[in-house]
Each structure stands twice: as C-alpha cells, then as structure tokens.
Amino acid sequence: MGITVTFIDKDRVEEKNTYRQNFVPAEIGHYKAEALAMRYNLSTGCNIAASARLFAMSDYLKRLIENTLGLWKP
C-alpha cells in the first residue's frame, strides 16, 4: 500500500502571505492547501491531495484507530 498525503487548510492566500509565507502573486485567492499541493505535485511528480476545510480531530482519531495515519503501517 502506498503513502497518501493530504494538505488540509481552509485559509486562502492573501497578498501579505506572498512576503511571509513564500506564496506567489498568482496564488492569491486560492486555498493554501491547494496551492501547495499543486506546487509540490508539479515539481516532484507526487500525488498530494488537498482539502480546503478545517482540520477535524475526529478525522485524525479515525485514521489512527484504523491504523491508516502513519508511515509505520506494513
């Protein structure tokens, strides 16, 4: 089974983020998770997913219980 990576962030890129968080002007208005996933996918060939929503602890706990959260799964 392969590793699945998902970036989760409901915030959008603002102009002030281009200075402090290394986003570019073309990404202004896009969700941060989607902008970063696209950037990494294009530069590395990975298949990183993105979710523009709040991180829910219940999602984390569900994956932990199912043993689908970490890299330790055989």
pLDDT of the residue at 66? 67
- Express each pLDDT in 15-53 by its tens digit: 999 999 989 999 999 999 999 999 999 998 888 989 888
- Confirm whether pTM is higher than 0.85: no
pLDDT in the model for residue 33: 94
- Predicted confidence at residue 2, as pLDDT, reads 64
Where in the chain are the domains? 6-66
The H-assigned helical ranges of 1-74 are 17-20, 32-44, 57-66
**Which band of pLDDT confidence, cut at 50, 70 and 90, is reported for residue 68?**
low
Residues 6 or more apart whose Cβ sits within 8 Å of residue 24: 18
